Amino acid sequence: MEYFLQQLINGLTLGAIYGLIAIGYTMVYGIIGMINFAHGEIYMIGAFISIIAFLVIGWAGITWVPLVLALVLLLSMVFTAAYGWTVERIAYRPLRSSPRLAPLISAIGMSIFLQNYVQILQGARVKPIQPVVQGGVKLMERADGFVVQISYLQIVIILLTIALMFGFNQIIQGTSLGRSQRACEQDKTMAGLLGVNVDRTISLTFVMGAALAAVAGFMVTLYYGVIDFYIGFLAGVKAFTAAVLGGIGSLPGAMLGGILIGLIEAFWSAYFTIEYKDVATFTILVLVLIFRPTGLLGRPEIEKV
Amino acid sequence: MSDALLQVSGVHTYYGAIEALKGVDVTVPEGEIVTLIGANGAGKSTLLMTICGNPAARKGRVLFQGEDITRLPTFEIVRRGIAQSPEGRRIFPRMTVFENLQMGSITAPPGSFDSELERVFHLFPRLKERMDQRAGTLSGGEQQMLAIGRALMCRPKLLLLDEPSLGLAPLVVRQIFQVIREINREQKMTIFMVEQNAYHALKLAHRAYVMVTGKVTMSGTGAELLANEEVRAAYLEGGH
């Protein structure tokens, strides 16, 4: 029971990170109908910018931890968003009216390019970082000494994710930008006829997705303490799995899918074999694609108009 | 024609290699209802879309209030005061009726939302009843009302209507045409309307054009075309 509880906490933390990345996949798919395979790399870049920001802020002599975290997060979101914007501008916008396969190939190319770009600039070695947030809350202790605890960092990750989800949902449902995004998702021609700058709305969608991926990169940097140029691949594919599981195109679906994938991974590692945790995740992807291609919260393509 | 709100001259539009408009001239004077009639595939909807720059004309010019808007992006064109209720209505099915109307007010003058909303609800009380319903669940007639209401939300100087009567029951058709007449009379709104329902459209219009395979072949006042033998034979006989 105690062991189960601990894995639940770990799984939720991991799931929050996957969910934040998955939202970027699902939003871009919603608005332009393509899988942005470079999104995992955007997350990786977010992690690198976080490490660089930690160093810079360290040199600047700021030591109060909450301020450091807030500044790093902000810097990472801003710069990563700029990457997201640039990727769309260079690799996808010129292909807007091409067949669907073209931007997909362009995305894969962009993904390979960004990996190599970071590898050359930052080196291929693993980058470590000193633990910034330490300690935690002891929830329970079993007779044999096994302690269930939630670390302060896990609390930060989960609360930050909840806050972001809430704020993000407000933007999509309650602002004119969010309305324009939903309109472009349904009918870009009509949105244009009503005065929506469709290109700009698509750009902003990439910017928002990248900013959330940056948050995930920031969290992973703190959580694991090590990153390298290749982390975007696996995390990207898993977050993509999460988006498909939740129903691609659905925002709540992406978050739900992320949490489920995190939990599956945590419990699989705990009760079966940790070596096969990725196999478990991708088995889910295959099963969902076969038996429920619209995902848990996705809607069927056919619509009464 | 210095008082023309919209002036289309020598416009050619292509879909890929297909020439859909082959040199079209149309003038829409301020304050009038102008209608364009013609058979399916004549290029009527294409003309409305070309005015909005999607697709843009390859040759010729579109002047709005004397300004050349031919090459502007769509969102810039409509921000100058043109609204369209397009072919097939194109309401946003997964948004509520209210959200659809909000989308219509993007180019509206600031602070006009509440008064315009009231005006639209006055014209189409059904929309008020269905305010929080998803637009995709509305009936065809209600969707048409929503498409027109959405176009009115920005208080346009020029309203483009593409077949507002298509597929609707005769009673609803009459209601829609009444509303069109009302907004022209009471709000002095200029309306350029494409119609297959030639009889109703010509009765309503101050001025009318006939389009055949990408070209304007005839023009005159609504009454003139209504009396014209050729028009009667091609577009009116057998109906009404």
| Residues facing residue B215 across a β-bridge | B212
For chain A, say whether B96 makes contact (Cβ under 8 Å): no
For chain A, say whether B79 makes contact (Cβ under 8 Å): yes
Using left for φ > 0, alpha for ψ between -120 and 50, and beta otherwise, residue B73 falls in: beta
Distance CA B145, CA B148 (A): 5
User: From the list A189, A196, A305, which residue is nearest B106 (CB)?
Assistant: A196
Confidence of residue A303 (pLDDT cuts 50, 70, 90): very low
* Phi, psi for B195 (deg, rounded to 5): -145, 145
* DSSP symbol at B2: T
What does the angle CA A160 – CA A164 – CA A168 come to, to the nearest 5 degrees? 175
Contact A93/A85 with Cβ under 8 angstroms?
Answer: no
Confidence of residue A78 (pLDDT cuts 50, 70, 90): very high
Does the pLDDT at position A305 exceed 50? no
pLDDT per residue over A174-223, tens digit each?
999 999 999 999 999 999 999 999 999 999 999 999 999 999 999 999 99
Task: Tell me the CA end-to-end span of chain B in Å, nearest whole number.
Answer: 35
* Phi, psi for B95 (deg, rounded to 5): -115, 160
Please give the structure tokens belonging to residue B228.
């014209």
Mean pLDDT of A279-303: 81
Confidence of residue A138 (pLDDT cuts 50, 70, 90): confident
Q: Which helix (H) or strand (E) holds A14?
A: helix A2-32
- Higher-confidence residue of A190 and A273: namely A190
CB contact under 8 A, B103 and A304: no
* pLDDT score at A147: 85
* pLDDT score at A277: 86
* pLDDT score at B161: 96
CA distance B24 to chain A (A): 21
Contacts with B, A 161-180, CB within 8 Å: 176, 179-180
* pLDDT score at A301: 56
Chain B residues touching residue A190 (CB < 8 angstroms): 86, 90, 92
Query: Taking CA atoms, what residue in A is nearest to B77?
Result: A195
CB contact under 8 A, A189 and B90: yes
Q: Strand A127-128 to strand A226-227: parallel, antiparallel, or no bridges (unpaired)?
A: antiparallel
CA distance B104 to chain A (A): 6
Please give the structure tokens belonging to residue A112.
């390979």
Distance CA A127, CA A215 (A): 18
For chain A, say whether B40 makes contact (Cβ under 8 Å): no
Q: Which of A190, A200, A203, A297 to mutate to test the interface with B (most CBs of B within 10 A)?
A: A190
Residues 6+ apart with CB under 8 A from A126: A226, A227, A228
pLDDT per residue over A150-162, tens digit each?
999 999 999 999 9
Can you count the helices (H) and strands (E) in chain A? 11, 4
Q: Please give the average pLDDT of every successive group of 10 residues along chain B, which has 240 residues.
A: 83 93 95 92 94 94 96 95 94 96 94 94 94 94 94 96 89 90 93 90 93 93 90 73
Query: Taking CA atoms, what residue in A is nearest to B99?
Result: A179
Q: Which helix (H) or strand (E) holds B39?
A: none
The one-letter amino acid at A181: Q
Tell whether the torsion through CA atoms of A224, A228, A229 and A233 is positive or negative: negative
CA distance A249 to chain B (A): 13
* pLDDT score at B1: 46
Distance CA B99, CA B59 (A): 37
Contact B179/B85 with Cβ under 8 angstroms?
Answer: no
Chain A residues touching residue B93 (CB < 8 angstroms): 186, 303-305
CA distance B103 to chain A (A): 7
CB contact under 8 A, B74 and A193: yes
* pLDDT score at A288: 87
Confidence of residue A88 (pLDDT cuts 50, 70, 90): very high
pTM, 2 dp: 0.90
Please give the structure tokens belonging to residue A8.
């639940």
ipTM: 0.93
CB contact under 8 A, A179 and B136: no
- Of the listed ranges A140-144, A264-268, A297-301, B208-212, the least confidently predicted one is A297-301
Does the pLDDT at position A81 exceed 60? yes
Mean pLDDT of A46-59: 94
- Of the listed ranges A84-93, A134-143, B90-99, B220-229, the least confidently predicted one is A134-143
